[in-house]
Structure 1
Amino acid sequence: MTSEKVKKHYPRPPISLIESNIPGWGVDIYIGGSTGVADAELLEKHNIKVVLNCAVNLDIDLVHSEEPNTPEHLLKHGSARVRYYKIGLIDGPGNPESMVLAGYHLMRSALDQELPEKASYKVREKGNILVNCRGGRSRSVTIVALFLHLEYPDRYPTLDAAIAHIRKTRELHPDEWFETPKPALIHLAERAASMEKLLRDAGFGQDMKKK
């Protein structure tokens, strides 16, 4: 069964709650696809203030007001209703080995970041986080699973345990588990977990931890 057929036969919500009130940050984690992240009302309803886009082949225009006096030759730019971060993963083979690890650190750093009291930083509330890719079933699952495993090893002692939890909360059908996430991404996440643990053993990696 092809990936497109899987998507057609097994629909899922635009966004799904994966974890509530996570220790250390007190926010909720959501995973979603392109339709969910592009729905401003849905983001507001769930108090989502941080969006991490994991897809290299998906761009979302979240700008809701253009800066004044924008030259006509420039594309629309300005502030959004959320803080928007992106790491461009391929959904399958082809990603550098360190890229999934970078995704974990970007997710964690987005939660830790403290914005200054300046007018140009319009969204300073912590709020909840949405991690998305095109379908919300592979790349975003990989990054969130790695985050859960590394941050909460007592609850998710293995990467597989975190993936199993997300498959359930994201409502991924068992018939599509063979590619949710893609095997190449699972392999990179396993390598990323090993690399992060080595960094921690050497005294790096968790200096900003708030737990």
Structure 2
Amino acid sequence: MTSEKVIKHYPRPPISLIESNIPGWGVDIYIGGSTGMADAELLERHNIKVVLNCAVNLDIDLVHSEEPNLPKHLLKHGSACVRYYKIGLIDGPGNPESMVLAGYHLMRSALDQELPEKASYKVREKGNILVNCRGGRSRSVTIVALFLHLEFPDRYPTLDSAIAHIRQTRELHPDEWFETPKPALIHLAERAASMEKMLREAGFGKDMKKT
């Protein structure tokens, strides 16, 4: 007879506030799952204007199509109620180690991006950011933890300290901490943090934050 670990998924909010008014950008960071990301009223209520989807196996239709009579062979396309970015992470082993570092840079760049005054760019307000995956408990936690550690090392001197903070603010039950985030993703985030620090020491890496 073999014993298998029974994994219980505990309830958590659709989205959770992780950090408020972050220095340099003045916006709030949220983490959520697919239900929270798909709730346009919830996004509006929390002034979320940027969404970063970390999941390769999750797509949500946010499009307000400007061409309602598209030919049947074309998928709906157009603008959305948010600025939508995506990096497709696997929730576990299988990701290239550079992919988590790319997720950090995509999150940071989404906050830095300046949109022109053109009709095709519908959502130009800075607003707050939601980082999501399917459950909001592993992939999104990894990217936000890496961001907090690299951007605010005085407050989060280690990746573990950033993860511990998110486990509390995201209301992740201690019984699921062994997989929130998945160990393979934590390992990649540690590697990504080391790579970013080496790039900065060599004179590359992030631009100076806005003040």
Category of TM-score, reference length = shorter chain: over 0.9
Q: Could you report, residue by residue, the CA deviation over 1:80-131 in whole angstroms, capped at 9, with x for unpaired residues?
A: 0000000000000000010000000000000000001000000000000000
CA deviation string 1:23-80 (max 9, x = no partner):
0000000000000000000000000000000000000100123336533320111100
Query: How far apart in 1 are the matches of 2:97 and 2:9?
Result: 32
| Aligned-partner SS, 1:52 | strand
The within-5 A match list for 1:22-61 is 22-61=22-61
Task: Tell me how far apart the structure 2 counterparts of residues 73 and 3 of structure 1 sit (CA, whole Å).
Answer: 50
| Fraction of identical pairs, as percent | 94
Structure 2 distance, partners of 1:22, 1:31, is 14
Q: Partners of 2:17 and 2:25 in 1: how far apart?
A: 16
- 1:184 to 2:184 alignment: yes
Asked if structure 2 preserves the Cα contact closer than 8 Å seen for 1:112 and 1:208, the reply is no
TM-score (norm. length: structure 1): 0.95
Counterpart-to-counterpart distance in 1, 2:24 and 2:171: 26
CA contact (8 A) 1:149 1:156 kept: yes
More divergent stretch after superposition (158-167 vs 200-209): 200-209
**1:210 shift after superposition:** 1.7
Deviating more after overlay: 13-22 vs 69-78: 69-78
Give CA-to-partner distance per residue, 1:121-143, whole Å, 9 cap, x none.
00000000000000000000000
Alignment check: 8 A CA contact 1:6 1:176 kept: no
Tell which deviates more after alignment, 57-66 or 75-84. Answer: 57-66
Q: Write the distance in 2 (CA, Å) between the matches of 1:149 and 1:8.
A: 29
Q: Is the 8 A contact 2:9 2:176 kept in 1?
A: no
Residue pair 1:100, 1:192 contacting (<8 A) in 2 also: yes
CA contact (8 A) 1:91 1:139 kept: yes
- Structure 1 residue 8, shift from structure 2 partner: 5.2
TM-score, structure 2 normalization = 0.95
Q: Which runs of 4+ in 1 moved over 6 A?
A: 1-7
Q: Does the CA contact (< 8 Å) of 1:15 and 1:32 recur in 2?
A: yes
Q: Confirm or deny: 8 A CA contact 1:21 1:28 kept in the other structure.
A: yes
Change (3 A) 1:99 1:17: same
What SS class does the counterpart of residue 187 from structure 2 fall into? helix
What is the CA-CA distance between 1:5 and the residue it aligns to? 9.5
Q: 1:195 to 1:34 in 2, by over 3 A?
A: same
Residues in 2 aligned to 1:3 and 1:131: alpha-carbon distance in whole angstroms: 35
Matched, 1:68 2:68: yes
For the structure 1 residues 7 and 22, does the alpha-carbon distance in structure 2 shift closer, same or farther, using more than 3 Å as the test? farther
Shift of 1:208: 4.7
Structure 1, 147-156 or 71-80: larger mean CA deviation: 71-80
Paired position in structure 1 for 2:128: 128
Aligned residue for 1:5, secondary structure, equals coil
Answer yes or no: is the 8 Å Cα contact 1:18–1:29 preserved in 2. Answer: yes
Between 63-72 and 43-52, the greater mean CA deviation after superposition = 63-72
Give the drift of 1:6.
7.5
